[in-house]
Amino acid sequence: MKQVLVVDDELLARQRAVRMIERIDGYEVVGEAQNGIEALKSIEALDPDIVLMDIRMPGEDGLGAARSIAELEEPPAVIFCTAYDEYALEAFDTLAVGYLLKPLRQDQLELALAKASRINKVQRAKLKEPNPNQRKNIAAKTRRGVELVPIDDIFCFMADQKYVTIMHAGGDTLIDDTLKELEDEFDRGFVRVHRNALVAIKNIEKLERLPSGQYELKLKGTVFKPIVSRRHVAAVRELLSSL
């Protein structure tokens, strides 16, 4: 079930969009916001898959909010919904995946949501030969000096605010790289399973469902089990079925 956040300063417009989304199988509205600032707070709290957003709103408008959304480690897809057509070029500069004109049409909304729901290439990543340009080791400064962690020994990368920890066969090591940088470099061997976690594909044994409804991964060679966020469960299942 794909989760949608509806952002519009007009109550009637939000209500209409919610009704239309609820008619489409596979989608649910998890929240509403009245402006860009509320939208960013809701994204942080709700982690939606898709944001349906107006452009002209008081305070931070939709374009400003979309630029901030694009800077997130793992942004939701953004579909603009507006009564004005003159913002289209600027809107797509923010990496939006759709631009709908009001009044919304059911068929156009369904097509835009379907496009926004396609699993991206990183989520569909399959185990391939490593990129010849990527590092074979990651260097980290520790109390003992510079430590080299072989990529083959890494189970996962875990982000916590500004820092990333490597979970590896020799323990855990703090590094300066961002999770986004690591994802771009090692996209052939690691897969994003949470906004805060990249996991080595070759070490994944199975996806397990907890009594709480959450999912976690059982990995080879370690008792550590990274959590898989709701947004990534379907992609991880697809990945496992292809291995």
In the chain, CATH 3.40.50.2300 covers: 2-116
Residue 148, phi-psi category: left (phi > 0), alpha (psi -120 to 50), beta (remainder): beta
CA 78 from centroid of its chain's CA atoms: 12
pLDDT of residue 119: 46
Mean pLDDT of the chain: 87
Residue with tokens 């805060």: 196
* Residue 219: pLDDT over 90: yes
* 69-114: pLDDT as tens digits: 988 877 899 999 988 877 777 777 777 888 999 999 999 999 999 8
pLDDT of residue 74: 78
Coil vs helix vs strand at 7: strand
In the chain, CATH 2.40.50.1020 covers: 137-242
Task: Give the burial class of 142: count Cβ atoms within 10 A of its Cβ; 0-12 exposed, 13-18 middle, 19 or more buried.
Answer: exposed
* 158-198: pLDDT as tens digits: 998 778 999 999 899 999 899 989 988 888 889 999 999 99
Residue with tokens 């994003």: 192
Q: Domain spanning 2-116: which superfamily?
A: Response regulator (3.40.50.2300)
- Which of 190, 166, 168, 189 shows the shortest CA–CA distance to 177? 166
- Which of 101, 46, 97 shows the shortest CA–CA distance to 70? 97
Greater confidence (130 vs 126) lies with 130
Greater confidence (126 vs 144) lies with 144
AA identity, residue 176 = D
Domain 137-242, CATH number (from 1.10.10.10, 3.40.50.150, 2.40.50.1020, 3.40.50.970): 2.40.50.1020
